[in-house]
Amino acid sequence: MKKIKIITTGGTIAMGQDNKSNQIVPKLSGSDLLDYVPELKNIAQLDLLQYSNLDSSQLSPNMILGLAKKVEEALADESISGVLITHGTDTVEETAYLLDLILDVQKPVVITGALRSFNQLSSDGEANLVHSLQTILDPRSKNKGVLIAINNQIHAARFIYKVHTNKLTSFASLNAGPIGYIDHCGVHYFYDLAPQITVKTDKLKNRVDIIKLSIGTDDTLIQAALDSGTEGIVLEAFGVGTIPKRVTKGLFRAKEEGIPVVLTSRCLEGRVYNLYGASAGGVDISELDLIFARTLNSTKARLLLMLLLSRGLSKGEIRKYFALKLKM
Protein backbone atom coordinates (compact mmCIF):
# COMPACT_ATOMS: atom_id res chain seq x y z
CA MET A 1 0.00 0.00 0.00
CA LYS A 2 1.43 3.38 -1.03
CA LYS A 3 2.11 6.08 1.53
CA ILE A 4 0.50 9.53 1.18
CA LYS A 5 1.27 12.64 3.21
CA ILE A 6 -1.88 14.48 4.26
CA ILE A 7 -1.43 18.11 5.34
CA THR A 8 -4.51 19.77 6.82
CA THR A 9 -4.91 23.54 6.94
CA GLY A 10 -8.57 23.95 7.95
CA GLY A 11 -11.50 25.29 5.96
CA THR A 12 -15.11 24.13 5.74
CA ILE A 13 -14.02 20.51 5.39
CA ALA A 14 -12.69 20.73 8.99
CA MET A 15 -15.60 22.74 10.39
CA GLY A 16 -18.69 21.90 12.39
CA GLN A 17 -21.68 23.63 13.92
CA ASP A 18 -21.23 25.76 17.02
CA ASN A 19 -23.93 24.80 19.54
CA LYS A 20 -24.47 28.36 20.74
CA SER A 21 -24.38 30.42 17.54
CA ASN A 22 -25.38 27.63 15.12
CA GLN A 23 -22.67 28.97 12.81
CA ILE A 24 -20.06 26.82 11.08
CA VAL A 25 -16.70 27.18 12.85
CA PRO A 26 -13.30 25.41 12.85
CA LYS A 27 -13.84 22.24 14.83
CA LEU A 28 -12.12 19.13 13.45
CA SER A 29 -8.47 18.35 13.95
CA GLY A 30 -6.59 16.52 11.24
CA SER A 31 -7.16 13.24 13.09
CA ASP A 32 -10.86 13.99 13.49
CA LEU A 33 -11.11 14.65 9.77
CA LEU A 34 -9.60 11.26 8.89
CA ASP A 35 -11.89 9.54 11.40
CA TYR A 36 -14.90 10.89 9.51
CA VAL A 37 -13.76 8.99 6.41
CA PRO A 38 -12.40 5.58 7.57
CA GLU A 39 -12.34 4.40 3.95
CA LEU A 40 -9.23 6.54 3.37
CA LYS A 41 -7.11 4.13 5.39
CA ASN A 42 -8.13 1.32 3.03
CA ILE A 43 -6.85 3.27 0.02
CA ALA A 44 -3.37 4.28 1.21
CA GLN A 45 -1.09 4.45 4.20
CA LEU A 46 -1.63 7.93 5.60
CA ASP A 47 0.95 10.18 7.26
CA LEU A 48 -0.82 13.17 8.82
CA LEU A 49 0.44 16.69 9.51
CA GLN A 50 -1.89 19.40 10.80
CA TYR A 51 -0.35 22.62 9.50
CA SER A 52 -3.16 24.90 10.69
CA ASN A 53 -6.89 24.86 11.36
CA LEU A 54 -8.09 28.16 9.90
CA ASP A 55 -10.77 29.47 7.63
CA SER A 56 -8.80 30.04 4.43
CA SER A 57 -9.64 33.77 4.50
CA GLN A 58 -7.24 33.97 7.47
CA LEU A 59 -4.23 32.48 5.67
CA SER A 60 -1.38 34.66 4.40
CA PRO A 61 1.03 34.31 1.46
CA ASN A 62 3.91 33.69 3.86
CA MET A 63 1.93 30.88 5.49
CA ILE A 64 1.61 29.32 2.03
CA LEU A 65 5.35 29.74 1.57
CA GLY A 66 5.78 27.76 4.80
CA LEU A 67 3.30 25.18 3.51
CA ALA A 68 5.38 24.79 0.35
CA LYS A 69 8.39 23.91 2.49
CA LYS A 70 6.39 21.23 4.29
CA VAL A 71 5.35 19.77 0.93
CA GLU A 72 8.95 19.74 -0.29
CA GLU A 73 10.08 18.03 2.91
CA ALA A 74 7.38 15.38 2.54
CA LEU A 75 8.15 14.65 -1.10
CA ALA A 76 11.87 14.37 -0.37
CA ASP A 77 10.99 11.20 1.54
CA GLU A 78 11.27 8.34 -0.96
CA SER A 79 8.51 6.44 0.84
CA ILE A 80 5.95 9.21 0.14
CA SER A 81 4.09 8.84 -3.16
CA GLY A 82 2.33 12.20 -3.07
CA VAL A 83 0.83 14.93 -0.92
CA LEU A 84 -2.83 15.71 -0.23
CA ILE A 85 -3.61 19.14 1.22
CA THR A 86 -7.01 19.96 2.72
CA HIS A 87 -7.92 23.63 2.42
CA GLY A 88 -10.78 26.09 2.60
CA THR A 89 -12.41 26.85 -0.74
CA ASP A 90 -12.41 30.65 -0.44
CA THR A 91 -8.71 31.07 -1.26
CA VAL A 92 -7.76 27.62 -2.54
CA GLU A 93 -7.18 28.94 -6.08
CA GLU A 94 -4.56 31.35 -4.72
CA THR A 95 -2.83 28.76 -2.54
CA ALA A 96 -2.81 26.25 -5.41
CA TYR A 97 -1.33 28.76 -7.86
CA LEU A 98 1.31 30.02 -5.43
CA LEU A 99 2.36 26.44 -4.65
CA ASP A 100 2.40 25.67 -8.38
CA LEU A 101 4.82 28.55 -8.95
CA ILE A 102 7.08 27.64 -6.01
CA LEU A 103 7.21 23.84 -6.16
CA ASP A 104 9.34 21.95 -8.67
CA VAL A 105 8.28 18.37 -8.02
CA GLN A 106 7.32 15.32 -10.05
CA LYS A 107 5.18 13.53 -7.48
CA PRO A 108 1.48 14.48 -7.36
CA VAL A 109 0.36 17.34 -5.12
CA VAL A 110 -3.43 17.52 -4.83
CA ILE A 111 -5.52 20.01 -2.89
CA THR A 112 -9.14 19.50 -1.88
CA GLY A 113 -11.77 21.02 0.36
CA ALA A 114 -15.52 21.09 0.78
CA LEU A 115 -18.44 23.43 0.23
CA ARG A 116 -20.42 21.66 2.96
CA SER A 117 -19.17 20.65 6.40
CA PHE A 118 -19.71 17.07 7.54
CA ASN A 119 -22.73 18.06 9.66
CA GLN A 120 -24.55 19.65 6.70
CA LEU A 121 -26.84 18.00 4.19
CA SER A 122 -25.15 16.94 0.93
CA SER A 123 -21.71 17.17 2.53
CA ASP A 124 -19.05 16.74 -0.15
CA GLY A 125 -15.98 16.29 2.03
CA GLU A 126 -15.92 12.49 2.02
CA ALA A 127 -16.13 12.14 -1.77
CA ASN A 128 -13.55 14.88 -2.33
CA LEU A 129 -11.06 13.23 0.02
CA VAL A 130 -11.50 9.79 -1.57
CA HIS A 131 -11.23 11.21 -5.10
CA SER A 132 -8.11 13.16 -4.15
CA LEU A 133 -6.34 10.02 -2.97
CA GLN A 134 -7.39 8.23 -6.15
CA THR A 135 -5.93 11.10 -8.16
CA ILE A 136 -2.62 10.98 -6.31
CA LEU A 137 -2.34 7.21 -6.78
CA ASP A 138 -2.95 7.38 -10.53
CA PRO A 139 0.43 7.21 -12.34
CA ARG A 140 -0.72 9.83 -14.87
CA SER A 141 -0.97 12.44 -12.13
CA LYS A 142 2.81 12.88 -12.01
CA ASN A 143 4.44 15.97 -13.54
CA LYS A 144 1.19 17.92 -13.71
CA GLY A 145 2.00 20.52 -11.10
CA VAL A 146 -0.46 21.27 -8.33
CA LEU A 147 -3.95 19.86 -8.92
CA ILE A 148 -7.29 20.49 -7.24
CA ALA A 149 -9.73 17.57 -6.96
CA ILE A 150 -13.27 18.65 -6.12
CA ASN A 151 -16.81 17.75 -7.20
CA ASN A 152 -15.63 14.79 -9.31
CA GLN A 153 -13.35 17.08 -11.33
CA ILE A 154 -9.60 17.64 -11.49
CA HIS A 155 -8.40 21.19 -12.10
CA ALA A 156 -4.96 22.61 -12.85
CA ALA A 157 -3.88 25.33 -10.42
CA ARG A 158 -3.23 27.85 -13.19
CA PHE A 159 -6.81 27.68 -14.51
CA ILE A 160 -9.09 27.12 -11.51
CA TYR A 161 -11.35 29.85 -10.11
CA LYS A 162 -14.18 29.88 -7.61
CA VAL A 163 -17.18 31.16 -9.57
CA HIS A 164 -20.00 30.71 -7.04
CA THR A 165 -20.13 31.39 -3.33
CA ASN A 166 -21.36 28.00 -2.11
CA LYS A 167 -22.71 25.64 -4.79
CA LEU A 168 -21.10 22.22 -5.03
CA THR A 169 -20.32 23.28 -8.61
CA SER A 170 -18.47 26.36 -7.35
CA PHE A 171 -15.24 25.73 -9.26
CA ALA A 172 -14.40 26.07 -12.94
CA SER A 173 -11.23 26.08 -15.00
CA LEU A 174 -11.73 29.21 -17.05
CA ASN A 175 -10.25 29.45 -20.55
CA ALA A 176 -9.46 25.73 -20.46
CA GLY A 177 -11.95 23.46 -18.67
CA PRO A 178 -11.03 20.83 -16.05
CA ILE A 179 -7.95 18.78 -16.81
CA GLY A 180 -9.75 15.56 -15.81
CA TYR A 181 -12.48 13.92 -13.76
CA ILE A 182 -13.06 11.00 -11.42
CA ASP A 183 -15.91 8.50 -11.71
CA HIS A 184 -16.65 4.89 -10.72
CA CYS A 185 -14.10 3.69 -13.28
CA GLY A 186 -11.27 5.81 -11.88
CA VAL A 187 -9.31 8.87 -12.96
CA HIS A 188 -9.50 10.24 -16.49
CA TYR A 189 -7.48 13.09 -18.02
CA PHE A 190 -8.51 15.26 -20.97
CA TYR A 191 -5.25 17.04 -21.83
CA ASP A 192 -1.61 17.57 -20.79
CA LEU A 193 -0.08 20.77 -19.49
CA ALA A 194 3.01 22.67 -20.55
CA PRO A 195 5.48 22.69 -17.62
CA GLN A 196 4.87 25.65 -15.32
CA ILE A 197 7.64 28.12 -14.51
CA THR A 198 9.16 27.82 -11.05
CA VAL A 199 10.04 30.90 -9.01
CA LYS A 200 12.06 29.98 -5.95
CA THR A 201 12.17 32.38 -3.00
CA ASP A 202 12.60 32.31 0.76
CA LYS A 203 10.52 35.45 1.33
CA LEU A 204 7.61 37.29 -0.20
CA LYS A 205 6.99 40.95 -0.91
CA ASN A 206 3.54 41.51 0.58
CA ARG A 207 2.94 45.11 -0.48
CA VAL A 208 1.29 44.50 -3.83
CA ASP A 209 -2.15 46.08 -4.16
CA ILE A 210 -5.10 45.14 -6.37
CA ILE A 211 -7.20 48.03 -7.67
CA LYS A 212 -10.46 47.28 -9.47
CA LEU A 213 -11.79 49.77 -12.00
CA SER A 214 -15.44 50.63 -12.49
CA ILE A 215 -17.25 53.26 -14.50
CA GLY A 216 -16.20 56.72 -13.30
CA THR A 217 -13.09 55.51 -11.43
CA ASP A 218 -10.27 58.03 -11.00
CA ASP A 219 -6.70 57.58 -9.76
CA THR A 220 -7.43 58.17 -6.05
CA LEU A 221 -6.69 54.57 -5.03
CA ILE A 222 -3.59 54.41 -7.24
CA GLN A 223 -2.23 57.58 -5.63
CA ALA A 224 -3.08 56.22 -2.16
CA ALA A 225 -1.27 52.95 -2.87
CA LEU A 226 1.81 54.85 -4.06
CA ASP A 227 1.69 57.17 -1.04
CA SER A 228 1.58 54.17 1.30
CA GLY A 229 4.69 52.58 -0.20
CA THR A 230 3.26 49.88 -2.44
CA GLU A 231 5.87 47.83 -4.29
CA GLY A 232 3.55 46.81 -7.11
CA ILE A 233 0.01 47.35 -8.39
CA VAL A 234 -2.37 45.00 -10.15
CA LEU A 235 -4.97 46.96 -12.08
CA GLU A 236 -8.20 45.12 -12.85
CA ALA A 237 -9.35 46.95 -15.99
CA PHE A 238 -12.22 46.70 -18.45
CA GLY A 239 -12.53 44.19 -21.30
CA VAL A 240 -9.25 43.44 -23.07
CA GLY A 241 -7.48 46.02 -20.91
CA THR A 242 -9.07 49.41 -21.47
CA ILE A 243 -8.76 52.06 -18.75
CA PRO A 244 -10.35 55.50 -18.21
CA LYS A 245 -8.26 58.61 -18.82
CA ARG A 246 -8.89 59.67 -15.19
CA VAL A 247 -6.50 57.04 -13.87
CA THR A 248 -3.58 57.77 -16.18
CA LYS A 249 -2.04 60.49 -13.99
CA GLY A 250 -1.54 57.94 -11.21
CA LEU A 251 -0.19 55.39 -13.69
CA PHE A 252 2.35 57.89 -15.04
CA ARG A 253 3.45 58.51 -11.46
CA ALA A 254 3.90 54.76 -10.93
CA LYS A 255 6.01 54.63 -14.09
CA GLU A 256 8.19 57.51 -12.91
CA GLU A 257 8.70 55.87 -9.51
CA GLY A 258 9.55 52.50 -11.07
CA ILE A 259 6.55 50.71 -9.56
CA PRO A 260 5.39 47.86 -11.83
CA VAL A 261 1.72 47.94 -12.78
CA VAL A 262 0.24 44.67 -14.05
CA LEU A 263 -2.93 44.91 -16.13
CA THR A 264 -5.69 42.30 -15.80
CA SER A 265 -9.36 42.25 -16.76
CA ARG A 266 -12.63 42.30 -14.82
CA CYS A 267 -13.89 39.67 -17.26
CA LEU A 268 -13.81 36.05 -16.15
CA GLU A 269 -12.40 34.72 -19.42
CA GLY A 270 -10.17 35.96 -22.23
CA ARG A 271 -6.86 37.81 -22.19
CA VAL A 272 -5.67 41.41 -22.01
CA TYR A 273 -3.71 43.06 -24.80
CA ASN A 274 -3.28 46.43 -26.51
CA LEU A 275 -6.06 46.54 -29.10
CA TYR A 276 -8.06 49.76 -28.93
CA GLY A 277 -6.58 53.13 -29.89
CA ALA A 278 -8.75 54.75 -27.20
CA SER A 279 -7.89 52.13 -24.58
CA ALA A 280 -6.53 54.81 -22.22
CA GLY A 281 -8.93 57.62 -23.07
CA GLY A 282 -6.80 59.23 -25.74
CA VAL A 283 -3.48 58.49 -24.06
CA ASP A 284 -1.25 55.96 -25.84
CA ILE A 285 -1.44 53.03 -23.44
CA SER A 286 2.06 51.93 -24.43
CA GLU A 287 3.38 55.12 -22.80
CA LEU A 288 2.14 53.92 -19.42
CA ASP A 289 4.62 51.01 -19.35
CA LEU A 290 1.98 48.51 -18.19
CA ILE A 291 2.63 44.77 -17.94
CA PHE A 292 -0.11 42.63 -19.49
CA ALA A 293 -1.12 39.61 -17.39
CA ARG A 294 -2.54 37.64 -20.33
CA THR A 295 -5.31 35.37 -18.94
CA LEU A 296 -4.40 35.60 -15.24
CA ASN A 297 -6.97 37.22 -12.99
CA SER A 298 -5.97 39.91 -10.51
CA THR A 299 -5.42 37.63 -7.49
CA LYS A 300 -3.13 35.24 -9.35
CA ALA A 301 -1.29 38.07 -11.11
CA ARG A 302 -0.66 39.60 -7.67
CA LEU A 303 0.92 36.38 -6.39
CA LEU A 304 3.22 36.08 -9.39
CA LEU A 305 4.22 39.73 -9.09
CA MET A 306 4.95 39.24 -5.38
CA LEU A 307 7.22 36.33 -6.19
CA LEU A 308 9.07 38.17 -8.94
CA LEU A 309 9.55 41.28 -6.79
CA SER A 310 10.87 39.04 -4.01
CA ARG A 311 13.54 37.84 -6.40
CA GLY A 312 14.62 41.46 -6.96
CA LEU A 313 13.80 41.39 -10.67
CA SER A 314 13.63 44.57 -12.69
CA LYS A 315 10.42 45.73 -14.36
CA GLY A 316 11.81 44.56 -17.70
CA GLU A 317 12.53 41.10 -16.32
CA ILE A 318 9.08 40.95 -14.73
CA ARG A 319 7.55 41.84 -18.10
CA LYS A 320 9.37 38.91 -19.73
CA TYR A 321 7.98 36.48 -17.17
CA PHE A 322 4.41 37.58 -17.82
CA ALA A 323 4.87 37.76 -21.59
CA LEU A 324 7.14 34.81 -22.40
CA LYS A 325 7.84 32.50 -19.47
CA LEU A 326 4.34 32.13 -18.07
CA LYS A 327 2.72 28.90 -19.21
CA MET A 328 -0.99 29.14 -19.89
Segment 231-257 mean pLDDT:
95
The string of DSSP letters for 147-208 reads: EEEETTEEEETTTEEE-SSS-TT-EEETTT--SEEEETTEEEE----PPPP----SS----E
User: CB of 135 within 8 A of CB of 242?
Assistant: no
Among candidates 325, 221, 244, 237, which has minimal Cα distance to 273?
237
35-85 tens-digit pLDDT:
999 999 999 999 999 999 999 999 999 999 999 999 999 999 999 999 999
- Other beta carbons within 10 Å of 69: 12
Give dist(CA 294, CA 283) in Å, integer. Answer: 21
User: CB of 4 within 8 A of CB of 82?
Assistant: yes
What one-letter code names the amino acid at 129? L
Residue 12 annotated in active site: yes
148-185 tens-digit pLDDT:
999 999 999 999 999 999 999 999 999 999 999 999 99
The active-site residue out of 8, 9, 12, 89 is 12
Give dist(CA 228, CA 206) in Å, integer. Answer: 13
**Furthest CA-CA distance within the chain:** 65
- Pairing type for strands 171-173 and 160-162 reads antiparallel
- Spell out the domains of the chain, with CATH numbers in brackets: 3-189 (3.40.50.1170), 208-325 (3.40.50.40)
- Alpha carbon 127 to its chain centroid, in Å, reads 22
Interacting residues of 169 by C-beta distance below 8 A, sequence separation 6+: 151
For residue 282, name the pLDDT band (cuts at 50, 70, 90).
low
Which H/E stretch holds residue 112?
Answer: strand 109-112
User: CB of 155 within 8 A of CB of 173?
Assistant: yes
Give dist(CA 222, CA 235) in Å, integer. Answer: 9
98-136 tens-digit pLDDT:
999 999 999 999 999 999 999 888 899 999 999 999 999
